[in-house]
Amino acid sequence: MQLTLANHPVSEIRFGAPTRLDGTMLVVDPEELRRVVLEDESILGADFEIARPGESCRAGPVFDIIEPRAKEPGSSPNFPGILGPPTTAGSGTTHVLTGAAVSVLAERGPGESRSATGRFLEMSGAAAEATDYSSLQHLVVIFHTRAGLPNQTIEKSYRKAGLKVAVYVASAALNQAPASTQTFEPAGPMEEGRKGLPRVAYIGQIFSRQRKPAADEPILYGANTDGMLPVLLHPDEWLDGAIVPSLRSWIGGTETYYYQNHPVIMELYRRHHAHELNFVGTVATIAGSDNFDRERNCRMAANLVKWALKANSAVLTKYGGGLPHADLAETARLLEGTGIKTAVMVSDTSRDRRMESALLFNFPEVNAIIYNGGNGTEWEVPRVERIIASTPDMRQLLAGPFVAEASNIIGVTNQQGASRMRAMIY
């Protein structure tokens, strides 16, 4: 398996016809896109806006952010299991519109999510400096769905239609030469020529049993993770559409864009290419709902790393709140007990700024801990000139000024490494 990313930088998005990539300018035809999304009978219409870096603009609540990508014909499919059959992702050539994003907003009013505003996109000011999303050119999409539909039906429509829009606009680059390409050097437990290098695996949680997934919720190759046990994945599968966020991924920063640019996997690949380590593979897992699930899943994940990947070190990240924290710690403890050195990345949702609140485990052998919290950080965000939202009430609320928490500004907090936040003890 080998994946090549063909990169096409985008410095500007404009509306026009037809949809095309003109140098570094992406021209988007809204009518073409409406025809694409109206293939879903749950969607009655769609509005499109553009948000630019540095603009006095705020958009929300955000359902998902997606990097526009399209597979070259003859490669593995786009988002297998969701937009096509569940064949293996991660091979062939994927064309990428770097510097651009498709940002899907939810049709929600104030207070219909975890906070009054939900997660929102901030394009200027001090808070925007804390998120990489403020540096992107955003094609903002608001879908209008039929009345009376269950939330899970609406959210699944958001997911599928958002991915289709991202693939459609990226297809404009298929017949153009990329500005650069990136081909990932083969990774896996059987690769030769790496004798003596540390053999490093990655274990990543992709869901937490704190919430039961909807029956038709697409997460891993279109499946909802119900009954899932830890599974081996090639690193390229994570980067190329095998995994998307849960429909209710409000915590910890798990946008599709994050999976497409997975910071831990990309860093392990970088060091793999530099022959600093041997990246032997990944395990995708979930956080259990009770002690039985936890014991079984943690042991199976640890066994896969030891016996299948034959690693001697591992990096672990979590998904969600306190229960995933415990699963991550127990998996690391089991690995350490078999002689596999671990580094864990954790965050907590405490608001009192006390270190004791984050102490959800205390295993002396699990002593390489990276804390990427910041949930208690706040900004006084100013009034902005332009608001993009689906309802008048939400536009009025988002106009500002108001106090915003870090977890509500999309891209600021992330439990898997895509964050500029860190803990400081004085």
The helices-and-strands tally (H runs, E runs) of the chain is 8, 22
pLDDT in tens, 257-290: 999 999 999 999 999 999 999 999 999 999 998 8
pLDDT value at residue 69: 98
* Stretch 130-151: mean pLDDT: 96
pLDDT more than 90, % of the chain: 74
pLDDT in tens, 62-78: 999 999 999 998 888 89
Tokens of 368: 């390489």
- Asked if residue 268 lies in contact with residue 282, where contact means CB atoms within 8 angstroms, the answer is no
- Asked if residue 246 lies in contact with residue 158, where contact means CB atoms within 8 angstroms, the answer is no
DSSP E strand boundaries for 304-365:
313-317, 341-346
In whole angstroms, what separates CA 233 from the centre of its chain?
17
CA–CA dist 179, 166 (Å, integer): 19
* Stretch 49-57: mean pLDDT: 98
Residue 22 has pLDDT above 70, yes or no: yes
pLDDT value at residue 191: 87
Tokens of 119: 């997660």
Nearest to 320 by CA among 409, 225, 230, 253: 253
pLDDT value at residue 250: 62
Q: Which of 185-194, 248-257, 263-272, 346-355 has the lowest mean pLDDT?
A: 346-355
**C-alpha dist (Å) from residue 418 to 60, 115, 170, 201, 402:** 20, 22, 23, 19, 25
Tell me if residue 30 falls in helix, strand or coil.
Answer: helix
Q: For residue 390, report the phi and psi dihedrals to the nearest 5 degrees.
A: -90, -15
pLDDT value at residue 423: 65
Nearest to 398 by CA among 147, 54, 50, 123: 123
Provide the mean pLDDT of the chain.
Answer: 92
Q: For residue 90, report the phi and psi dihedrals to the nearest 5 degrees.
A: 105, 15
Q: What is the pairing mode between strands 199-208 and 278-287?
A: parallel
pLDDT value at residue 355: 55
Residue 356 has pLDDT above 70, yes or no: no
* Stretch 119-127: mean pLDDT: 96
* Stretch 395-399: mean pLDDT: 94
pLDDT value at residue 265: 97
pLDDT more than 70, % of the chain: 93
Residue 81 has pLDDT above 90, yes or no: yes
Q: For residue 203, report the phi and psi dihedrals to the nearest 5 degrees.
A: -115, 120
**How is the chain split into domains, by residue range?**
3-181, 184-377
Instruction: Band the pLDDT of 251: cuts 50, 70, 90.
Output: low
pLDDT value at residue 425: 61
pTM of the full predicted structure? 0.95
Residue 128 has pLDDT above 80, yes or no: yes
DSSP E strand boundaries for 129-261:
137-145, 180-183, 199-208, 231-233
pLDDT in tens, 207-246: 998 888 888 899 999 999 998 999 999 999 999 999 999 9
Neighbouring CB atoms inside 10 A of 37's CB total 22
